[in-house]
Structure 1
Amino acid sequence: MQTVAQTLREHRSIRQFKPDEIPQSIIDEVLHEAVTGTSSSGNLNSYSMVLTRDPVRKRQMYKLHGEQEFILQAPLVITFCADWYRTRQWLKLRGARDNFNNFLGYQVAANETMLISQSVTLGFEARGYGICYMGSTLHAMQEIAEQLGLPETCLPITTIVVGVPDERPERRERLPTRSFVHDETYQKPNTSELEDMYQAREESGWERYMAVPRLKAMCDEGGITSLAQMYTSPYKYDPDHYVPKSLQILEVLQQRGFLPSKLSLTQTEE
């Protein structure tokens, strides 16, 4: 078993897995340790975890997550959900006032969901398993919720795949720690500081893109000449996609009981 420090140093996002199954005893142990060892607002534990192992259901998740092949390879998919349904039913059972079916409730539950997901991730990685987070969860919240049969005020926030790694990729370049740490108040970086912060990241990231023929072809086709341009291009995090997608997420929150139905979600004309 690795220490927390060792686990953090060894972290990689794994996208190739061996077919080995994960023993149920390991899954139970990791999830129990995560639940009992993760902080919770008011000890209300406003999250749930849905485990997917059935091949047919995994293929359905594969389609909802943009057909990423490692979903089919990994023996375990875990969807982490912001969940107030269980708590609200308990409140009703005890004659208490209803609550948490509002945006503040969503924020609290979403934060707790990310906390528990990281604890679960560390638990599996400390035992030698590999994981990969899937940001595609937010892009298919409603569809995943329907697929998993999630009730009102319960929504998927993030998803991981877990399994025995069949690769050891290089660690991704992070910004220097000083980029994230502010003493007492936020320190806005000047141009020189920004250049220094991002230099190594830009160089290593661009080299990685240029080394993959498919990604290089995208950059050549789109006239993309830097990592920053790639990140806000139609191939990556397209601003023209993010605005309507943001409105769709607000609609999902409304449909799932986290926002009042009378709230207008139409985009404001500039």
Structure 2
Amino acid sequence: MTDAAAPPPAAPEAGPTAQAFARLMQAHRSIRQYKPDPVDSAFIDRVLTEAWAGSSSSGNLNMVSVVKSFDAARRAHLCTLHAGQPMVRQAPLVLTFCADTHRTRQWLAQRQARPGFADFHSWHVAAFDAMILAQTTSLALESHGLGICYMGTTMSSMRTIADFLELPPHCLPVTSLVVGWPDEAPAQRDRLPPQAWIHEERYHRPTPQDIDTHFAQREQRGRERYLAVGPEMVTAWQQHGITSLAQYYTSPIKYDPDVLAENSAAIEAVLRERGFLAPG
């Protein structure tokens, strides 16, 4: 006769550190308006060093580099490379996180080791490590009261940013953070509910009813938020015949699939140029 299954363990008590961390995560906002107050470079180095120690690294290879951009003129040029988004110029600092196997390959060469880390797999390893470090850094900066915003335009401007920052072969930007003291307090953005994306044991494909239920709140709030931008946005929706948030997301004024296809081809080309993909 088998014993009855043991009851599941109780959830651990949330101590002061866990409670503070939960509050920090709930307080996250993407900040797009910044005060002119400067950010100390030595302080940023300390935060980055602590974030580096607190971030996982595949194989402990540390194939990440971070470029700090404080200079106003250089940030102004970075602003043009990031589609003219004003926060890049307004914030006192831009951090560019790079997938960097160049340094590792140089180490290998100087130790007469077999060459490696010049392939698509290595790009993924270094790029994912760069994103892990970027997120740890974001939380660390926010814990000090600073604001941050991820720049998705890093990927579409990968080649021009790499050239501007004088990145060597086998080193490419993955993401960028604008950093500064917040001059706004935006509302928390809506997220899909846990039942939409947390799966037990295996992936459970959503039914049409699941999609309607899980996206209902986001569709309403997202539509309201975008249309509140101003009459120009309302007019643009009308001109493009947009009647839902989903239609907006793949319209020519948001994430146009044709433009993303071009961006994808450009990213593939620069990965080949910089040594992460074999020549086509």
- Whether the TM-score (by the shorter chain) exceeds 0.5 is yes
Paired position in structure 1 for 2:65: 48
Q: Which has the larger radius of gyration?
A: 2
The answer to whether the aligner puts 1:236 opposite 2:251 as a matched pair is no
Paired position in structure 2 for 1:215: 233
Secondary structure of 1:45 counterpart: coil
Paired position in structure 2 for 1:136: 153
Q: State the distance in 2 between where 1:24 and 1:241 align.
A: 37
Q: State the distance in 2 between where 1:212 and 1:238 align.
A: 20
Question: In the alignment, residue 225 of structure 1 is paired with which amino acid?
Answer: T
Q: State the distance in 1 between where 2:264 and 2:253 align.
A: 18
Offset, 1:221: 1.4
Question: In the alignment, residue 251 of structure 1 is paired with which amino acid?
Answer: A
Secondary structure of 2:140 counterpart: helix
Paired position in structure 2 for 1:260: 278
Offset, 1:24: 2.8
Question: In the alignment, residue 272 of structure 2 is paired with which amino acid?
Answer: Q
Offset, 1:7: 1.4
Offset, 1:119: 0.6
User: What do residues 238-269 of structure 1 show as CA deviations (whole Å, max 9, x unaligned)?
Assistant: 111111211111000000000111x2xxxxxx
The answer to whether the aligner puts 1:21 opposite 2:57 as a matched pair is no
Return the TM-score normalized by structure 1: 0.95
Q: State the distance in 1 between where 2:41 and 2:165 align.
A: 21
Q: State the distance in 1 between where 2:244 and 2:67 align.
A: 39
Secondary structure of 2:157 counterpart: helix
Offset, 1:105: 0.4
User: What do residues 198-237 of structure 1 show as CA deviations (whole Å, max 9, x unaligned)?
Assistant: 0000000001112122322211111111100000000111
Structure 2 residue runs of 5 or longer lacking an equivalent are: 1-16
Q: State the distance in 2 between where 1:162 and 1:57 align.
A: 15
Paired position in structure 2 for 1:148: 165
The answer to whether the aligner puts 1:188 opposite 2:200 as a matched pair is no
Q: State the distance in 1 between where 2:262 and 2:44 align.
A: 38
The answer to whether the aligner puts 1:226 opposite 2:226 as a matched pair is no
Q: How many residues align?
A: 262
Quick one: which of 186, 194, 219 aligns to 1:202?
219
Question: In the alignment, residue 191 of structure 2 is paired with which amino acid?
Answer: R
Paired position in structure 1 for 2:78: 61
Q: State the distance in 1 between where 2:262 and 2:20 align.
A: 43
Quick one: which of 129, 134, 144 aligns to 1:117?
134
> Is contact 1:4–1:122 with CA below 8 Å preserved after alignment?
no
Question: In the alignment, residue 248 of structure 1 is paired with which amino acid?
Answer: A
Question: In the alignment, residue 65 of structure 1 is paired with which amino acid?
Answer: H
The answer to whether the aligner puts 1:245 opposite 2:263 as a matched pair is yes
Q: State the distance in 1 between where 2:262 and 2:41 align.
A: 41
User: What do residues 175-204 of structure 1 show as CA deviations (whole Å, max 9, x unaligned)?
Assistant: 001211111111001011111100000000
Paired position in structure 2 for 1:267: none
Offset, 1:4: 2.2
Identity value in percent: 48
Offset, 1:23: 2.1
Runs of 4+ with deviation above 3 angstroms: none
CA root-mean-square deviation: 1.2
Question: In the alignment, residue 202 of structure 2 is paired with which amino acid?
Answer: T
Return the TM-score normalized by structure 2: 0.91
Structure 1 residue runs of 5 or longer lacking an equivalent are: 264-270
> Is contact 1:3–1:126 with CA below 8 Å preserved after alignment?
no
